[in-house]
């Protein structure tokens, strides 16, 4: 019904987060939330990893909820599979495997980390397009003529002077475009993830277990500077299912394995290194906070600048230093 749409939209699935609550805090279900340079705090899963109208966009002055609706439908279909995998029921039919591959792909694409990366890529492509225009007199002439025909009188020389006279940050702020790219990339990755080998790392009974983050699908590739799902045969990903189960996707055959306490801690460290700025854990540990602080202090995003006619990518601190 119109007016019943959800304002606060989770960029990490709420039911997924419920797999990381601290068992020592029952009957109330809380997990531990970590943010840069703050003390860990208890929080209910429905109160974290959310933003107002995050998957909405506007057309003709009307807010549309098609992105949120699409995600909700996928969550409904995938939730029973999520529960089964948490219960260590790892046998899936081909259709079920494809559904859960879509869930993993969506978990990777629905977060702010992905949005910034895809927007940065768009900005860089746009900056390179402008750089090409500046370097090609014929293209400048055609654009100047087109602008002049529309009433904005200019010459190729004047247009070039404007494009090379200083620096401008190139941004992509169309949320509808970002949501569309999210779903397009998800469909591409779904097929790829489906065909990867899946195995499961199992934490021992009594182990504090695996944690997760605001970027829950962590991709690695020791053979490539730029890790992606198919950047090389060594590319792999980690996707914790719950505090007791973590999915490992590879291009090589792997068997399920019982993870030692040391291996669980190693996995958690890797997950923190791939987080954006938040960690969600079934336990409180000062070591987690220290690793997150260290990660966020050195991590950066990029902004795209057209500087005197040249496309550049500049680092921008992700988190302001704690003063």
Tell me what pLDDT residue 4 has.
58
**Does 62 fall in a domain?**
yes
Does residue 36 carry a pLDDT above 80?
yes
**Does 166 fall in a domain?**
no
Range of the domain at 27: 8-118+172-303
Does residue 66 carry a pLDDT above 90?
no
Q: Which of 117-126, 142-151, 183-192, 299-308 has the highest average model confidence (pLDDT)?
A: 183-192
**Does 160 fall in a domain?**
no
What does pTM read for this prediction?
A: 0.91
Beta-strand runs (E) in the chain: 8-10, 31-34, 41-43, 50-52, 57-59, 62-64, 167-170, 197-203, 212-213, 218-220, 236-240, 245-250, 257-259, 279-281, 300-307, 310-317
**Does 131 fall in a domain?**
no
Q: Which residue has the tokens 């990903």?
A: 237
Residue 151 burial by Cβ neighbours in a 10 Å radius (0-12, 13-18, 19+):
exposed
Work out the pLDDT band at 318, boundaries 50, 70, 90: confident
Give pLDDT tens digits for 210-254. Answer: 999 999 999 999 998 889 999 999 999 999 999 999 999 999 988
Does residue 182 carry a pLDDT above 80?
yes
The tokens describing 259, both together, are: 């993870």
Work out the pLDDT band at 83, boundaries 50, 70, 90: very high
**Does 180 fall in a domain?**
yes
**Does 164 fall in a domain?**
no
Q: What is the distance between the alpha carbons of residues 120 and 13, in angstroms, rounded to a whole number?
A: 25
For residue 160, give every residue at least 6 positions away whose Cβ sits within 8 Å of its Cβ, in sequence order, or none.
134, 140, 309
Does residue 321 carry a pLDDT above 90?
no
**Does 148 fall in a domain?**
no
Does residue 280 carry a pLDDT above 70?
yes
Structurally, the chain folds into a number of domains equal to: 1
For residue 16, give every residue at least 6 positions away whose Cβ sits within 8 Å of its Cβ, in sequence order, or none.
82, 107, 212, 216
212 against 56, higher pLDDT: 212
**Does 255 fall in a domain?**
yes
Lowest mean pLDDT among 33-42, 53-62, 259-268: 53-62
Q: What is the distance between the alpha carbons of residues 24 and 89, in angstroms, rounded to a whole number?
A: 25
**DSSP, res 13:** -
């Amino acid at each position: 019904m119109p007016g019943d749409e959800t304002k606060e939209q989770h960029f990490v699935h709420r039911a997924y987060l419920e797999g990381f609550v601290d068992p020592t805090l029952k009957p109330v279900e809380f997990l531990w939330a970590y943010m840069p340079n703050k003390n860990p705090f208890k929080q209910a899963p429905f109160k974290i990893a959310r933003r107002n109208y995050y998957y909405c966009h506007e057309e003709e002055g009307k807010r549309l909820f098609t992105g949120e609706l699409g995600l909700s439908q996928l969550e409904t279909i995938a939730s029973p599979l999520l529960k089964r995998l948490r219960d260590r029921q790892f046998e899936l039919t081909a259709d079920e495997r494809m559904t859960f591959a879509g869930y993993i792909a969506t978990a990777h694409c629905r977060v702010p980390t992905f949005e910034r990366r895809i927007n940065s890529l768009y900005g860089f492509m746009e900056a390179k397009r402008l750089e090409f225009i500046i370097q090609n007199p014929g293209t400048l002439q055609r654009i100047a003529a087109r602008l002049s025909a529309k009433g904005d009188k200019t010459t190729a020389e004047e247009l070039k002077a404007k494009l090379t006279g200083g620096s401008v940050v190139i941004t992509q702020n169309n949320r509808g475009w970002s949501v569309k790219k999210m779903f397009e990339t998800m469909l591409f990755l779904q097929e790829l993830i489906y065909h990867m080998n899946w195995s499961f790392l199992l934490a021992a009974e009594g182990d504090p277990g695996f944690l997760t983050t605001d970027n829950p699908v962590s991709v690695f590739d020791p053979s490539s500077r730029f890790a992606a799902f198919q950047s090389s045969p060594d590319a792999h990903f980690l996707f914790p299912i719950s505090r007791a189960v973590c999915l490992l996707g590879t291009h090589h055959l792997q068997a399920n394995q019982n993870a030692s306490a040391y291996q669980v801690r190693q996995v958690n460290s890797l997950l923190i290194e791939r987080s954006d700025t938040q960690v969600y854990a079934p336990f409180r540990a000062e070591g987690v906070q220290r690793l997150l602080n260290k990660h966020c202090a050195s991590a950066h995003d990029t902004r795209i600048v057209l500087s005197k006619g040249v496309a550049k990518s500049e680092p921008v601190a992700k988190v302001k230093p704690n003063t």
